[in-house]
Amino acid sequence: MKHIGVIIELDKGRVKEANFGMITLARAKNVKLFAFVMDGQAERVKTDLESFGITTIVQVCLAPDQQNNPVTRAKAMIEAIQEFNISMVFGLSTAMGKDLLPRIAATLDAPLVMDCFFVDLEQKKAMTYQYSGKTIATIQLTGQILLFGVRPNAIEPVKAQENARILKSDSRHLVARDLRVIKSGGTEKGAAINLAEADVIIAGGRGMKNSENFKLLYHCASKINAAVGASRVAVDAGWVPYSMQVGQTGEKVSPKVYIACGISGSIQHFAGMKTSGMIIAINTDENAAILSNCDYYVKADALEIIPALTRILDNG
Amino acid sequence: MFPMADSGVPDYFFRLCFYGEQQMQVYVCVKHVPDSAAHIAILDQHRIDENISFLLNPYDEHAVTEAVKIKKKYPDSEVIAVCLGKADAERTLRSALAMGADRGILIVRDKNCDIRITALALKTTIEQDGKPGLIFTGKESIDEGGMQTMFRIGALFDFPVSTNVVKLDIEADKAVVVCELSGGITDTYEMSLPCVVGAGKGLNIPRYPTFPDVVKSKKKPVVKIDFRDLNIDDSLTGMRVVELKPLHQARQPRQIKGDAAAVAKELIRILKQEAKVLS
């Protein structure tokens, strides 16, 4: 029976929502599904993982001072992959996955496709977007061990109840020598809602006019558990930090709903958000490209619409 | 005399990277990619029509800029841009030279490469050319977006690697890097040298070449190497694009009309009933 492994990402000890879609993708008949937990306690996430079909949970143990070291983490995962004879490894294409998965793949000299939204386990093919989201590429992987980075939110999670046992993979002997962690954003980060994993993103562009007006977006976003993004114009103007940029040279996102406020919708911006479930555009310019490539549009000033939306949410 | 690091201790970076009389070498791996604004047409269901405008991958501009910054600090060092591509990729190398790289190496190959083969070709070429003190790449390419070349080069050399680097300091015999995670959160790592750095957008503001820079770049040397001369077994490919399709979107825009309050009310309805993201 084929052994497939999923690397679970936790947030404050709980399984991040995006993992469930990834597990759904990795599940198949005649496959033994392993979940690797490197942070937090396997016991605490057992129920959640069982409900999506995981039958074995592997707690990967690291030395305390190596917990945040990306090199040690990759080496520990390699030990676990080898120990449990895993032939396909799934992880999320999040900030953590974008570091961890290529490290594993490079060390094993194994193929890796990042940002997949579909994987055919039988045929060993992965689908991903290429050329600024203008094309869908199907990639054939060949090798003993294959790795896949799964785009968060790309797959609808489907439950499948199983019972799981917990095993340990002890990698406490590992120490990274050539890379040392000086300061780690660590696991307490979480505070800001992660763009790549958010269900709803409210993003602002030129139409926001200044940094102060972005507060309207933050306020509204906080009411619906949304993340706030921005177009390159807003970032280059210095209104918001680069980490908020959605687009070709920013985050690539696939939220369920993307609300674009005062964003014209350049090709480069679409490269980062065109795979959103629903796009709602609010723009005063009726010639803005985004109005012809969205699901709903409002010809109005986002600086009026967003506060009105917040008012309704405020009043429950 | 070796330059002094900010801490006042002799800069071991220089000593470490000095091999006899040889200069310290900083390699920048650059990629020739389609302009993101270009229309992508697909041929034979698996490749693109390359008769469009190509340019230096945007993240690689940050890599070149940072390498040139290091050269300013250590004037004896040399910045070498390396590119694997077809003959016309020389234009991308010239862009890197116009941005301040000293010379270029073009590994010419008529076929597109698997990322593993690309990394191996870059590694072999760098190794044959000199002794790298630092190797830069962009954090990803905007065409295929593999996000792994830097790690593969690092693994082949057995050098430490960091990616999405937004701050780099060379201190004595190590590199201190700040890497951006999501949401503006960062990690800071210290790597021994030589190392591989995947440049992120926050690393610097690329200095675009002036006209004299462009003129000068035309006189800088570019060496062409035939991929076949590297003796790399490319039958061992692990990732192959078997199909490429245009991503068609059939969104049917519908207008929401009314005053701000009415629009807001309708938006709430859409978020609740259609998108089901509000309860």
Instruction: Give the ranges where chain B is alpha helix by DSSP (H).
Output: 12-17, 58-73, 90-98, 115-129, 149-157, 211-219, 260-269
- Does A190 map to a domain? no
Is residue A44 less than 8 Å (CB to CB) from chain B? Answer: no
Q: 128-157 in A: which are within 8 Å (CB) of B?
A: 128-143, 149
Q: Are residues A295 and A159 in the same domain?
A: no
Residue burial B14-39, b: 16+ Cβ < 10 Å; e: rest: bebbeeeeebbbbbbbbbbbbebebe
The model's pLDDT over B206-244, given as tens digits with 9 standing for 90+, comes to 988 999 999 999 999 999 999 999 999 887 679 999 999
Q: Which residues of A touch B40 (CB under 8 A)?
A: 131, 134-135
Q: Are residues A281 and A158 in the same domain?
A: no
Q: Which residues of B touch A177 (CB under 8 A)?
A: 192
Q: Are residues A130 and A18 in the same domain?
A: yes
Q: Are residues A248 and A289 in the same domain?
A: yes
Q: 161-200 in A: which are within 8 Å (CB) of B?
A: 177-185, 189, 191-197, 199-200
Beta-carbon separation of A256 and B184 below 8 A = no
Domain count, chain A: 2
> Is residue B200 a contact partner of residue B62, using CB atoms and an 8 Å limit?
yes
Q: Are residues A164 and A219 in the same domain?
A: no
Closest chain B CA to residue A144:
B238
Q: What is the mean pLDDT of chain B?
A: 91
Is residue A244 less than 8 Å (CB to CB) from chain B? Answer: yes
Q: Rounded to the nearest 5 degrees, what angle is found at the Cα of B224, between the Cα atoms of B223 and B230?
A: 115
Contacts of A242 (CB under 8 A, 6+ apart): A235, A250, B201, B202
Polymer length of chain A: 316
Closest chain B CA to residue A112:
B239
Predicted local confidence at residue B10, as pLDDT: 44
Instruction: Give the ranges where chain A is alpha helix by DSSP (H).
Output: 18-26, 42-50, 70-83, 95-108, 214-223, 232-236, 267-273, 302-314
Q: Predicted confidence band at B9 (pLDDT cuts at 50, 70, 90)? A: very low
Predicted local confidence at residue B230, as pLDDT: 96
Is residue A298 less than 8 Å (CB to CB) from chain B? Answer: yes
Q: Which residues of A touch B155 (CB under 8 A)?
A: 106-107, 109
Smallest CA–CA distance, residue B260 to chain A, in Å, is: 5
In sequence order, what DSSP letters do the residues of B120-172 get, joined into one string? Answer: HHHHHHHHHH--EEEEEEES--TTT----HHHHHHHHHT--EEEEEEEEEEET
The model's pLDDT over B98-110, given as tens digits with 9 standing for 90+, comes to 999 999 999 999 9
Contacts of B247 (CB under 8 A, 6+ apart): A129, A133, A134, A135, A136, A274
Smallest CA–CA distance, residue B16 to chain A, in Å, is: 15
- Does A178 map to a domain? no
Mutate to test the interface with A, among B187, B201, B242, B256 (most CBs of A within 10 A): B187
Give the whole-angstrom CA distance, residue A137 versus residue B112: 14
Give the pair of three-digit tokens for residue B30: 């650059």
Q: What is the mean pLDDT of each run of 10 residues along chain A (316 residues)?
A: 96 92 95 94 96 98 96 98 98 94 97 97 96 94 97 93 97 97 66 79 97 96 94 95 91 94 95 94 96 96 97 88
Give the whole-angstrom CA distance, residue A212 versus residue A206: 13
Give the whole-angstrom CA distance, residue A75 versus residue A95: 18
Is residue B59 less than 8 Å (CB to CB) from chain A? Answer: yes
Q: Which residues of A touch B261 (CB under 8 A)?
A: 308
Q: Is the pLDDT of residue B42 over 50?
A: yes
Q: Are residues A157 and A87 in the same domain?
A: yes
In sequence order, what DSSP letters do the residues of A72-97 get, joined into one string? Answer: HHHHHHHHHHHHTT-SEEEEESSHHH
Give the pair of three-digit tokens for residue A305: 């619409």
Beta-carbon separation of A130 and B244 below 8 A = yes
Closest chain A CA to residue B257:
A298
Beta-carbon separation of A311 and B264 below 8 A = yes
Q: Which residues of B touch A298 (CB under 8 A)?
A: 255-256, 263, 267
Give the pair of three-digit tokens for residue B33: 């990619």
Instruction: Give the ranges where B158-233 is alpha helix by DSSP (H).
Output: 211-219
Beta-carbon separation of A140 and B240 below 8 A = yes
Q: Are residues A156 and A30 in the same domain?
A: yes
Q: 188-247 in B: which are within 8 Å (CB) of A?
A: 188-192, 195, 201-202, 237-247
Predicted local confidence at residue B22, as pLDDT: 53
Beta-carbon separation of A125 and B59 below 8 A = no
Contacts of A66 (CB under 8 A, 6+ apart): A72, A73, A174, A175, A176
- CATH assignment at residue A204: 3.40.50.1220
Q: What are phi and psi of B168, to 5 degrees?
A: -135, 130
Q: Considering A104, A139, A171, which residue would you say is the last residue of a domain? A: A171
Q: Which of A98, A179, A271 sits opposite B147 (nearest CB)?
A: A98
Predicted local confidence at residue B197, as pLDDT: 98
The parent domain of residue A208 ranges over: 195-314
Helices B211-219 and B90-98 sit at what angle, rounded to 10 degrees?
Answer: 120
- Does A48 map to a domain? yes
Predicted local confidence at residue B249, as pLDDT: 78
- Does A36 map to a domain? yes
Q: Which residues of B touch A268 (CB under 8 A)?
A: 36-37
Q: What is the mean pLDDT of residues B150-158?
A: 98
Mutate to test the interface with B, among A103, A120, A135, A194 (most CBs of B within 10 A): A135
Q: Predicted confidence band at B18 (pLDDT cuts at 50, 70, 90)? A: very low
CATH architecture, domain B20-230: 3-Layer(aba) Sandwich (3.40)
Beta-carbon separation of A180 and B190 below 8 A = yes
Predicted local confidence at residue A243, as pLDDT: 87
Give the whole-angstrom CA distance, residue B232 versus residue B120: 8
Give the whole-angstrom CA distance, residue B269 versus residue B266: 5
> Is residue A12 a contact partner of residue A19, using CB atoms and an 8 Å limit?
no
- Does A182 map to a domain? no
Q: Are residues A154 and A213 in the same domain?
A: no
Q: Are residues A141 and A251 in the same domain?
A: no
Q: Which of B36, B181, B253 sits opposite A291 (nearest CB)?
A: B253
Helix (H, G, I), strand (E, B) or coil at A21: helix
Is residue A238 less than 8 Å (CB to CB) from chain B? Answer: no
Q: Is the pLDDT of residue B7 over 50?
A: no
Helices A95-108 and A70-83 sit at what angle, rounded to 10 degrees?
Answer: 60
ipTM of model: 0.90
- Does A213 map to a domain? yes
Predicted local confidence at residue A192, as pLDDT: 58
Q: Are residues A167 and A200 in the same domain?
A: no
Q: Which residues of A touch B256 (CB under 8 A)?
A: 296-298
Beta-carbon separation of A99 and B148 below 8 A = no
Place of tokens 């090199």: A71
Helix (H, G, I), strand (E, B) or coil at A244: helix
Q: Are residues A220 and A285 in the same domain?
A: yes
Q: Which of A98, A106, A131 sits opposite B48 (nearest CB)?
A: A131
> Is residue B157 a contact partner of residue B150, using CB atoms and an 8 Å limit?
no
- Does A117 map to a domain? yes
Give the pair of three-digit tokens for residue B68: 């040139």
Is residue A314 less than 8 Å (CB to CB) from chain B? Answer: no
Mutate to test the interface with B, among A89, A112, A202 (most CBs of B within 10 A): A112
Q: Tabulate helix, strand, coil % of chain A (nearest 5).
A: 30, 30, 40
Q: What are phi and psi of A221, to 5 degrees?
A: -60, -40
Q: Are residues A150 and A247 in the same domain?
A: no
Polymer length of chain B: 279
Q: What is the DSSP letter of A196?
A: G
Predicted local confidence at residue A316, as pLDDT: 67
